[in-house]
Structure 1
């Protein structure tokens, strides 16, 4: 599992016996080992160790060479989350981050070439996730919708083209993955994230009169890109090996608002989340919102998000949608935070020339 925090000494295991911060005393050195706490404060403990040899050589000179470059980089990349991390943990984080960035590039390219598939991609992610059953702890965003017997169900009509697109993207992703093939469970949810971002950017472009460059800049300045951090951490879902049980997903285009409310309630959501997820409930968002607006519990939220989408930043709408999608994409899943990592070539410190 990904560790949380940084200890510089962990980056050079063979030098653990050396003391990193010597004092001006020629016989001994006061070592302050500092740990970053969850609140960001620093806690230090002091020990005394002899570090000067026969020739008065201070081992701090060695650590200066290594620590100045490596130590600060690791501290900067650890973030405020944590308590302790080894070099291996940070390597794994970087591996996952780079892989995820490449995945997003591949998915964005695929979606830009097929913008008409954005609605079915969103519904695909929703339908894969809402099979979750709290009583049995089964279902959820586990990739089961990829099976033909589940994909052919009435509620999944029209989603096969989206699955075919993701099949092709998966082949490309797996070809450059160094840590094994991506799961369909991850692929489907990150495709929904990419499609959602594409709708946000498209909205910004419309507000700029169709100018793509200005629209993209508008989203980068006022948009919600920074809100996706928690979603991106939930990377490492496992695929199920069988379809989920039937009868757990409504036929959204024919469902009443009460049936939608009941389904969302069953997975821990309310009218607010139902309203913000309207774009996931079928190809015609306007028609879905018009239906939802007939319910007194949902109406206030429908109007709230409609007003928000008229603003430059769409803050309320985008943040609530990202929050809801993040929760939806993790229902019942045990995230493997070591997924897609791989061994790296070991560096023998004894061979380094200092």
Structure 2
């Protein structure tokens, strides 16, 4: 109860003789009711050099402190329920804000990619190379948006990716214009563009299986696609941008790299043959070949489940290498509480 007062806590903590005794029960119906003796006044007195002032019950300093502590405790317990509920409500509001913002981001990226389908491979490579700068030993690099810097995107391994980056720059202007929780980080933008690009390839495959009919292909992808596997990826929303390019030499030139170089690079960041098996170049490698064959068979099925799920899982892991996710990113500013004005 929010209105619990200091006075209401006093009786239970007073010395026994200061409490009102309950009336005695009587077996005689004609007996006069027994009235309890009037309670004597209770005064809280401070001890002086000459002792205590006259009148009332004596309460020591310890008794007073107990009363004060009990009063504060009751007030806190009474208010804790509403405080917890308010905290839960605030958390739900923030989740909804992030969810709504992410939904709008997806819409913007979907439109941008739909108008430039030829850039889908570059968008995927942009996300891969931004993440591949991760160094496991030093815990540095990774999907931190460093590839946006001209000195990094102009490196040989990033040749041809500028057009994809320019597309995202334009999309970011629109995204930031309707964001109420601050601008979107390039680190998030690049990885979520890769997600949109992958979804576009999955949808295009479903449309092809339906003879080019977009409506039927959309229904097929909705019914048999792997959209439900994106849950963990969607939670990793709140990456921070680095302020400088990542070191050179961490990302190989994929078109020139040998099978061993590819495997070694993926192995260095914690991936195995299963995550490199989407490249047909690796089909002859004994470690990777079984996975390549498995994915080729999967892509011939209606659902492509094995291929899609593993690809989603790989992107999810790549997109969070070395990142500390800020789960309060893109939420509206929370009013600060001035604790100096709180009264207990």
TM bin (shorter chain): 0.7 to 0.9
1:236-247 to structure 2, matched below 5 A, reads 236-247=238-249
Aligned counterparts of 1:227 and 1:213: Cα–Cα separation in 2: 23
1:199-278 to structure 2, matched below 5 A, reads 199-276=201-278, 278=279
Deviation at 1:85, TM superposition (A): 6.0
**2:296 aligned with 1:294:** no
1:196 to 195, 198, 212: 198
Q: Deviations over 1:156-204 (max 9, x none)?
A: 0000000000000000000000000000000000000000000000000
1:145-156 to structure 2, matched below 5 A, reads 145-156=147-158
Q: Deviations over 1:323-345 (max 9, x none)?
A: 11101000000000000111379
Partner of 1:349: none
Deviation at 1:294, TM superposition (A): 1.5
**2:89 aligned with 1:87:** yes
Q: Secondary structure at the match of 1:86?
A: helix
Deviation at 1:86, TM superposition (A): 1.3
Q: Deviations over 1:202-228 (max 9, x none)?
A: 000000000000000000000001110
Aligned counterparts of 1:85 and 1:207: Cα–Cα separation in 2: 49
Aligned counterparts of 2:112 and 2:196: Cα–Cα separation in 1: 10
List runs of 5+ in structure 1 lacking aligned partners.
1-15, 19-73, 75-83, 279-288, 347-354
Taking structure 1 as the reference length, what is the TM-score of the superposition? 0.70
1:163 to 142, 162, 165: 165
List runs of 5+ in structure 2 lacking aligned partners.
4-84, 337-344
Partner of 1:314: 304
Aligned counterparts of 2:270 and 2:178: Cα–Cα separation in 1: 37
Aligned counterparts of 1:340 and 1:222: Cα–Cα separation in 2: 32
1:88-103 to structure 2, matched below 5 A, reads 88-103=90-105
Aligned counterparts of 1:196 and 1:343: Cα–Cα separation in 2: 33
Q: Deviations over 1:252-293 (max 9, x none)?
A: 0010111000000001000100113x3xxxxxxxxxx0x211
Partner of 2:79: none
Aligned counterparts of 1:246 and 1:294: Cα–Cα separation in 2: 30
Partner of 2:340: none
Moved >6 Å (runs of 4+): none
Partner of 2:16: none
Taking structure 2 as the reference length, what is the TM-score of the superposition? 0.72
RMSD of the TM alignment (CA)? 2.2
* Alignment length (residue pairs): 259
